[in-house]
Each structure stands twice: as C-alpha cells, then as structure tokens.
Amino acid sequence: MQGIANFIPTDIKVEYLNKLLAVGYPVLDFGSFVSPKAVPQMRDTSQVLAQLDRSKTKSELLAIVANLRGAEEACESSGVDIIGYPMSVSETFQKRNTNKTIVESLEEIMLLVELTTKKQKSLVIYLSMAFGNPYGDPYAIEIVSQFAGVLVSLGIKTISISDTIGLATAKEVGEVFSQVSMISEEISWGLHLHARPENAAEKIKAGMVAGCRRFDGAILGFGGCPMAKDELIGNIDTRTILEVAKELKMPHELDEIAFLEAEQLAKAVFNT
C-alpha cells in the first residue's frame, strides 16, 4: 500500500488485514513505523494495529522501520512480533530509503539488534539492490555475499535478499541465492522479489529450486518501493508463489478459501 498516493481509510486497511490474518501466513507485513511525511500511507499504522483481530491466527506481525526511533515505537507494542529494516548494497539507495549511509545503517543495525533482543522481538534485515541497481554503484555477487556475511556476524538470524526494483532475471535469482545462502545454514534466508506478471513465476521457481523457502508476496501483485525509481514494479503476486509451489509439489498450510476471500477484497481495497 505504501506506494499508493490516495490514502486508504484505516477501517478498510483493518478489514483487509484481518482477512489476510485468516489466511494463516507465517508472517504478515502489516505496516510501517516511519515518518508520515516520507510515507503518508502508513501514518495510521498504530491505529490499524490496535484493531487487528489475532484471536484465530498464528501469523506473526512484521513492521518495517527506517531508523531506531521507529523501532522503539514498534517495540512498545506487544502486537508487533518482528521488526524489519532495509539494508542496501547500494549507497545511493540506502540514502534514498533511510537517509543514512551504509556505514551509518550498519551502526543502526547494531542498535536494532540490541533493542530487539531486549524487547524479545525478532529482526529481519532486507538486503536490497542485491541483483544490481540503476544508480551506477559498485555491484557483484561477491559484494552481496560480503554484506550478508557482515549481517551474520552482527547476529542477524533472518535475511531477505531483495530485488526492490525488478531487475533480477530468473538465472540471477538462483545464482545469488545459492551463493549467499551458503554463508550459514543457521540463517533463515528469504527472497523479496519484484517482477512483472510475465516473468514472476520463473523467478519464484528459480528461488525454490535454489533452496529458498521464505518468499514475500502481495495479493494481486500490488506494491513497489516509492523510494526507488519513479516507476513502481510490483511485488510478486501471492497466487503466483502458491502456483509454483504446487507445480514443484511443495506443501503449504494456508487456508485457500480464506485466500480467495482476501483476493476478492483486495480488488476493492486497491481500487479505493
């Protein structure tokens, strides 16, 4: 929702997120504790959180933050289980996304590790621009691996290798994930990919074949990072992920009837 200019009313967000909770995703990215000036759509995250019904779900709630202040706010709520922070191998994008340099962001991550440990929250780091970037910053798979290694050394247990702007080919998804995930078997490695509908399935399949079992998706493929290029390339449709998993005979525990209901509601939500 964050890239949509028209503000989606709080009650509609709550209704939609409650439908998603009924699906039974392991993790639901429900909102962001960020500056309302930077991302106006997320200005009601606290109000949304207070109205979510978790009585019949095992889903953990993940909140994105851009700095320690946002993490402190998120950690004050017992409803937030996981804090997510975007780290980039691109200096340009790191500044655009969090208004920090790479060095400053690594220092911030150390503080986030300390905070989330104290507050008994989990921490996910999104390693963005992991498949190249449009800004001309140095890029190579080896650079991505070095960054991932630093994150592991800082105590990060969950790392999501992220495309952000849909640059990756299926071949690159497999190559990068295979190499980076070799760093440690104790880390929960994931993929956060953006893609156009015509090449989304092949990217997910490449990730699954490479051993990834943690994928981020969005119903109907809405999304995109407003801090990246002007053209928003959406997240991969959750339906695509489920279809590829079925093709490869990989089971899931999602309620498919609840998923269909959420999918229907999404059409109305995003039309607002």
What superfamily would CATH give domain 10-271?
Aldolase class I (3.20.20.70)
pLDDT of 272 > 90? The answer is: no
Position 230 scores a pLDDT of: 47
Among 56, 47, 57, 53, CA closest to 77: 47
The tokens describing 199, both together, are: 């090449």
The mean per-residue pLDDT over the stretch 130-158 comes to: 95
Q: Which pLDDT band holds residue 167 (cuts at 50, 70, 90)?
A: confident
Give the model confidence (pLDDT) of 194-224 as tens digits.
Answer: 998 899 999 999 999 999 999 999 999 876 5
Give the pLDDT band (50/70/90) at residue 231. Answer: low
pLDDT in tens, 245-261: 999 999 999 999 999 99
First-to-final CA distance of the chain: 11
**Which residue type sits at 174?**
G
CB count in 10 Å sphere of residue 114: 12
User: For the residues 228-235, what does the mean pLDDT come to?
Assistant: 62
Return all residues near 187 (Cβ < 8 A) that are at least 6 apart: 152, 156, 157, 158, 159, 181
Contact 207, 219 (CB under 8 A): no
For the four alpha carbons of 111, 113, 115 and 116, in that order, the dihedral sign comes to: positive
Encode pLDDT of 54-82 as tens digits. Answer: 998 999 999 999 999 999 999 998 899 99
182-196 pLDDT, tens digit per residue, is: 999 999 999 999 998
Please report the pLDDT score of residue 133 as a whole number.
Answer: 86
Give the pLDDT band of residue 4 (cuts 50, 70, 90). confident
Q: List, for residues 5-57, the tens digit of each pLDDT value.
A: 789 999 999 999 999 999 999 999 999 999 888 888 999 999 999 999 999 89
